[in-house]
Each structure stands twice: as C-alpha cells, then as structure tokens.
Chains A and B, each alone.
Chain A
Amino acid sequence: MSFIKALRCKECGADYPIEPRTVCDHDFGPVEVAYDYEAMRGKVTRDSIAAGPRSLWRYKDLLPINGEPRAGLRSGYTPLIPAKKLAAELGVKELYIKDDSVNYPTFSYKDRVVAVAITKAIEFGFDTVGCASTGNLAHSVAAHAAAAGLQAFVMIPHDLEEGKMVGMSVFGPRVVKIKGNYDDVNRLCSQIADKYKWAIVNVNLRPFYTEGAKTHGFEIAEQMGWQLPRHTVLPVAGGTILPKVWKAYQEFITLGLVKDNAPRMHAAQAAGCNPIVKALEEGTDLFRPQKPNTIAKSIAIGNPADGYYVLKVVRESGGSGASSTDPEILDAIKLLARTEGIFTEPAGGTTLACAIKLIQSGRIPRDESICVCITGNGLKTTEVMQGQFAATPAINAKMNEFDDLVRQITESANAKPAPVKA
C-alpha cells in the first residue's frame, strides 16, 4: 500500500502529481514527497517495520514507490556501532557510529538514495539513468543500473581520484569526465536531463532520490532501540542527507514510533569547502558558493543544491556546524581506524573531526548521546593516506631478526600513539 500524497513545493506548498519533477512552476522552489501520515497510523508500526527485510526496504511505507522495490534489495541496514573505545578517548558518555562505509553494494550511503531512485526510474519507464557525481554516487548508479539492466551515463569532475574511476568503470557505464568542478558537472546535468529525457537521479529524480537518505535516520532510531540520539553529526555536501535524516526523525515522532527528545543536527564540512558552516557562523540565510579545495572530494560541493534547507534544519533543531582542515581530517580517519576498526574516506574523517571540535567547544555536551554518521569507505581513497605511516622495514625470514624487530617495537616510545583528547 502506498501512502504517497503528492509532490509538494517546500516554499509555497503547491501540490503536483507524482512525476519526474524537481521544482515548483510558481516559485522554482524544490518539491518534496508528501505522505498521508494519518493513514499510516496503526499500519506503520515498530512491529510492521521489524517484520520487513534486513535492508532499507523495511521502511518501504515511508518511501515514494508504488509497487515492489526494483533495486538495492540488499542496500541499507548497516551497523550502528556503540563506539566505546572512541567515546573513552574523546571523554564522552554515549557515542555511536552509523557505519555506511559498509553499505551494499558500493560502500557508501549513496546506495540508499540510488536504490530508491532506480526503482522510481523503472516505475516511470526510463531506460537510461545518470548522475552528476563526486565518485560515490557514480559507483552506486553504475552498479544498480548494471543489476537492473539499465543504460548508465555518469558525469564526473575530471580530477577525481583514480581509485574511484576504477570503482565505477568496472560496472560498464558511460563515464563522462567534465573539465570543471562538481558544480560545473551538476549544472551541465540539469541541461542534459532536459534535453535527453534521461533519469538523472540527482537532478530530475531528486525528490525521490533524496527520500532514500531518510533510511539512514530510520535505522539509527530503530537500532538505538527506538530512540533518537540527542546529537547527530552529518557531513554536508549537496545538502541531501542532513535534512532527510531530520525528516526521518520527525516522521518517526509523528507516527509515535520514537519519543521526541529534541534531537539536534550538526553540520560537518571541510575547511576547504564550507559554505554552509560559514553561513551558520555569519548568521545569514544565504550562503556564498565556494571553489572547493580539500582532500575531502566526495563532499567538495561549493554550491549545495539543498544548502538552504541544511541551514534551516540546523537552526530549527538547535544544532551547529564546524569545519575541519585536511590534516585534522587525516588524523580523524586514523583515530576512527585505531579505536573502532573502521576505515572511512575523508568525508567520514571530516565528520568525526568536526564532531570532536563541537565536543571540545561544548556545543555537544559530553554527557548526551551522540551519533557520528560515516558515509563512505576509506579503501576507495587510499591515496590520501600516503605518507601518513612510517615505512615498514623488510626483514629476512629468520627468527632472530623478528626477535630484534619486536624488541625495537617494544622499546619504541612511539609504538603506542598518544591518545587524542577532545
């Protein structure tokens, strides 16, 4: 049963039928999927959700599809890890890592939004899908399109990390490198969607695509035992995930599935691309687009499509924002790996580094529950870690040489890294 009501303008509230549409005709404001929550009451329950598949589709009733899922049948339902070692190191009471670095099939949170977008593309009858991407989205679109038997065009900035190129090309999409940054790519994709009538998932399917991001929030709530974290720290790139995790929390509150504990949303950006955090600091509603310059390329979006709504949600929730430098990002990647055994990409390092800053500044109190959202996998961007570790010496296959090495390691004052104090 579908509970979808309409596509509704986020600015003026005008309703439109469910169709490939991005903006309102009247004021060009973005449209969003609206649901009939009254009709859901009593039907969408903790039990009905728990009886669903161990994938993001357990939340199907809160997603904008009409029939059965057609893509990403194993996507989502990633681990929520009580990060006790990291919490101890940072001096906080209750810390969770929502780990989308192991999302299926392409190891980033994008597998959530693409699962919904591809299902919708098939429902609408498209035979070609595409995206503007900083890498992770291209991987996901290429993989899901291959599995669904659709043609895929992925448009990427020309200077993307080599590892990410391989990770998308293997699925057989048409990869189009564009001379420019992500914002240039996105701009071109708007025109491509109009001219070619393809399903560009983050352009003309954006209202449906972004709904998939809610599942990240639904899972946090369910996996915490039907509770919300008091603080959620999320990376901000195009601005999709933060407002949608907030929407997920609000939907669960509306349906009575969780208690309203006034959850606060915090935005994390790299210092080399932080238009939203700057606007938060300056107290302005509008943000100034930036030319990105950071190792966190997957979140290097200088002109976020939904940036305005990130500002709105952060302020409405009483949250805050922080940005972190490239060295801080690398340190945070190593810290997460060393304490929790999770290797994230620079976007995840950014989120953790910013969470640490927000804890240090007191904007996140140490005695309240915190969820840090990790959205991508470090194995895709190993080149950023080059030079971060001491060279490993080779020894002969002799026991005495191994004994010497163990002695040296034991004696070395640097054998155990000093703890990071937040």
Chain B
Amino acid sequence: MAKSTRKCWLTFEGGRQNEPCLWKMSRTYPDVMFDIRQASVQKDIGIMAVLFTGEEKEIDGALEYLVKAGVKVDPVEGGSNVAG
C-alpha cells in the first residue's frame, strides 16, 4: 500500500498536556509514524505540529484515536491530505 502523509496541529488542553497521548496512540497504531516538527507546551495548553506517515486508513484511525482522547486535531493548511 502507498504511504501517505498528513500534517496536523495538535492542541492539548484540559489536562491532556500532561498525558502521553501520542505514545498511547502509537501503541494502538504502531505503523503510523509521527514526526514532531514544532512544539510549545505551557501550564494550561500545549500545541504541536506533527507529520503523520502511514497508510491512509491507519492515519485516519490514529487521528480519530487522538480526538477521542480529547486532543484537538486540526489539518495544517495546504497539507491536510498529501500523497506521499
């Protein structure tokens, strides 16, 4: 299967900034590679720019997992669905 990439902004609030959400996601979706390109974490909020690589369906599942875990997932403009 062809690999795809997806650029996203992840926002961690309401205590999520103190949880290893990405690590937990990667245990469930081990074939989705995540690459943190930029991050800033403060007391109440954390924001990360993350590049996800993997099969399209797997990435969808990984992002859905994060949303269910309370992480806000926003597509990066011009990079929401880029074929790898």
Contacts and interface: CB of A to CB of B under 8 A. Distances in A.
A190 B38 contact: no
A187 B42 CA distance: 24
Contacts of B7: 23, 28
Contacts, number: 62
Interface in A158-191: 187, 190-191
Contacts of A305: 77
A27 B79 contact: no
Interface string B44-64: 110101000000000000000
A191 B81 contact: yes
B44 A204 contact: no
Nearest to B11: A289
A27 B49 contact: yes
B38 A194 contact: no
Interface residues of B, number: 22
Nearest to B48: A28
B75 interface: yes
Interface string B24-43: 00000000000001101010
Interface residues of A, number: 24
Interface in A282-299: 284-286, 288-289
B37 A191 contact: no
B80 interface: yes
A218 to B, nearest CB: 27
A320 interface: no
B15 to A, nearest CB: 13
A344 to B, nearest CB: 30
A324 interface: no
Contact of B78 (A27, A193, A284): A193
B49 A204 contact: no
A285 B39 CA distance: 12
A11 B37 CA distance: 11
Nearest to A195: B81
Interface of A: 11, 20-23, 26-29, 187, 190-191, 193-195, 203-204, 206, 284-286, 288-289, 305
Which 8 pairs show the lowest CB-CB distances between chains A and B?
A28-B49, A22-B77, A22-B78, A27-B38, A190-B77, A27-B37, A191-B80, A28-B76
